[in-house]
Structure 1
Amino acid sequence: MPYAGDLIATNRKEPVSNLNQTDQEREMHDRTWRFLIAAHGRDWMFDTSVELQRTRIGPARDFRYTTERYYTWLRTTTYQSSPTRYSTVGRHIQADFDTLPTTFQSICAVQEVDRQRRVALAELGGIEQSVADNVAARRTENQWHIEWFVRALNYRYDSYSYALDHLLVETPHEQSMGVDENLRRMRPWVDRANRGDFCLSGAGAGSGSHVTIPSRFQTMVMDREVVVPK
């Protein structure tokens, strides 16, 4: 499939490289892959389309994803108790949160590899133009993959947020507060990804930032109407 995909991508006039893949590039692809699919939700993130996009047999289609798909899967999955859906969303957010630091590190490492390639190309004489074209194509391919990851991360965050909002309406429960807190912890990582800030030093996504993201419960208008029993 990858070979066929390269031919199809070439026919679409897209850059295609044949450089050997570095360990850093392989690790980035491995770590970002879990964000591009959703094994826990079967096909709620269009897994078949993702595979066609990965192999470049088909063009990027993740722009078409809509955020209600995760909630639709969640609400149509049978649970013994309705609050369990809050636990499910919370676990999925936590799983993403736990793997984001190493995923960001792997992307940062690939960006450094691309920089080293450009430096070597500029400083070494006698390198063929075909090699320079390969380096430029690989840099574009890596950047496209990083941008795909960023879109996927935003899609996951928006899908979780959509699900929590609708669960609050459909089956209100105090467990929603824990899910909301998980979303608040995930948000700085989403913001960093949108800025292309994968190499920031520090233990957490919020390093160097003092912005507090308000909880949806803090921004809710409380209903204080007094109801007098008849």
Structure 2
Amino acid sequence: MRLGVIALLTLNLAACTARPVGDFGRAAPSWTHDVAMPANGRVRAAERGEPVSRFNQTDQERLMHDRVWRFLVAARAKDWVYDSQAELQRTRIAAPGRDLQFRTDRYYAWLTRTPYNSSPTRYSTVGRHIVADLDTLPATFAAICAVQEIDRQRAVALSGLGNLAPDAAANVAARKYENDAFIAWFVRALTYRYDSYDHALDNLLVETPHEQSIAVDDALRRLRVDVVRAQRGEFCVQGGGHRPGIGGVVIPSRYQHSGDTEVVLPK
């Protein structure tokens, strides 16, 4: 009875509040979101038949979760990436994959509803959001790479050591499942953000054409490079920065026609 009441209260709290964030969009400490909701979520995940590891998180895993979180939500955009839904999915209270239903037109809808003194300011807003993603992606990729290495080290230790707890293998497999699922979610979230920016820029070009769109388009093409890297699982690629293309293929501007390199300014 007590567990049922606690679960109900946890769900009520989750329904009315998103996870708090601190500097640079990273998660801020919260007993409700860090302890109560995840505990409830582990029970629910096990009931659904999902692997649940009893291992403590490593520092690398904790850092990865903190860095990835800013890509799963966007508080400044008033829930255009479904902040409350993301928190239910993160804590495993909700089944995985809810983000697959997210609509990419919400970001543009938020932009058009937000009052600005000047229409080009909307381009500036999109540009700032893209640049913020570009600035934080290298550290996020590095954090994911570190967790992948931890999973590799666990597998090596499991195969080479004796005198292990009876559930060691199950916990290693479950943690690998949890980490892989979280990384896959990040890839989907990054793709969703790119698609949302892309949709917004196309529609802004029709609604309020302005030459400032060229700078936004350039930033979006640089973001696309990292999106493709994430989709390929290339989190541990050294060096690089934001390259203009991948594998020798240049990502074209929306102002370039097929076979034509001339940049055309919006009128």
Of 16, 31, 36, 2:52 maps to 16
Map Cα deviations across residues 153-181 of structure 1 (whole Å, 9 max, x no partner). Answer: 00000000000000000000000001000
Matched, 1:214 2:252: yes
Q: What amino acid is aligned across from residue 19 of structure 1 in structure 2?
A: F
Partner of 1:77: 114
Superposed, 1:133-212 pairs within 5 Å as: 133-206=170-243, 209-212=247-250
The 2-side partners of 1:204 and 1:83 are apart by 28
User: Shift of residue 131 of structure 1?
Assistant: 1.0
Q: What amino acid is aligned across from residue 116 of structure 1 in structure 2?
A: Q
The 2-side partners of 1:124 and 1:171 are apart by 64
Stretches of structure 1 that go unaligned for 5 or more consecutive residues are 223-230
Question: SS of 2:200's equivalent?
Answer: helix
The 2-side partners of 1:131 and 1:53 are apart by 26
Tell me how large the CA RMSD over aligned residues is. Answer: 1.7
The 1-side partners of 2:246 and 2:73 are apart by 31
Tell me the number of residue pairs that the alignment of Structure 1 and Structure 2 aligns: 223
Question: Are the aligned partners of 2:53 and 2:172 in contact in 1 as well (CA < 8 Å)?
Answer: yes
Q: What amino acid is aligned across from residue 122 of structure 1 in structure 2?
A: S
Map Cα deviations across residues 56-80 of structure 1 (whole Å, 9 max, x no partner). Answer: 0001210000110000001110000
Comparing 28-37 with 206-215, which one deviates more in the overlay? 206-215
Partner of 2:88: 52
User: Shift of residue 200 of structure 1?
Assistant: 0.6
Question: SS of 1:125's equivalent?
Answer: coil
User: Shift of residue 210 of structure 1?
Assistant: 2.5
Map Cα deviations across residues 89-146 of structure 1 (whole Å, 9 max, x no partner). Answer: 0000000000000000000000000000000000002323301100100010000000
User: Shift of residue 36 of structure 1?
Assistant: 0.2
Identity %: 62
- Which structure has more relative contact order (CA 8 Å, sep 6+)? It is 1
Rate the CA distance shift 1:160–1:208 in 2: closer, same or farther, 3 A.
Answer: closer
Rate the CA distance shift 1:165–1:186 in 2: closer, same or farther, 3 A.
Answer: same
Question: Are the aligned partners of 2:225 and 2:246 in contact in 1 as well (CA < 8 Å)?
Answer: no
Comparing 207-216 with 81-90, which one deviates more in the overlay? 207-216
User: Shift of residue 205 of structure 1?
Assistant: 4.6
Question: Are the aligned partners of 1:192 and 1:205 in contact in 2 as well (CA < 8 Å)?
Answer: no
Matched, 1:119 2:152: no
Provide the TM-score with structure 2 as the length reference: 0.81
Comparing 123-132 with 190-199, which one deviates more in the overlay? 123-132
Partner of 2:22: none
Q: What amino acid is aligned across from residue 255 of structure 2 in structure 1?
A: F
Partner of 1:38: 74
Comparing 211-220 with 159-168, which one deviates more in the overlay? 211-220
Question: SS of 1:13's equivalent?
Answer: coil
Comparing 205-214 with 9-18, which one deviates more in the overlay? 205-214
Provide the TM-score with structure 1 as the length reference: 0.93
The 2-side partners of 1:96 and 1:185 are apart by 11
Question: Are the aligned partners of 2:123 and 2:216 in contact in 1 as well (CA < 8 Å)?
Answer: yes
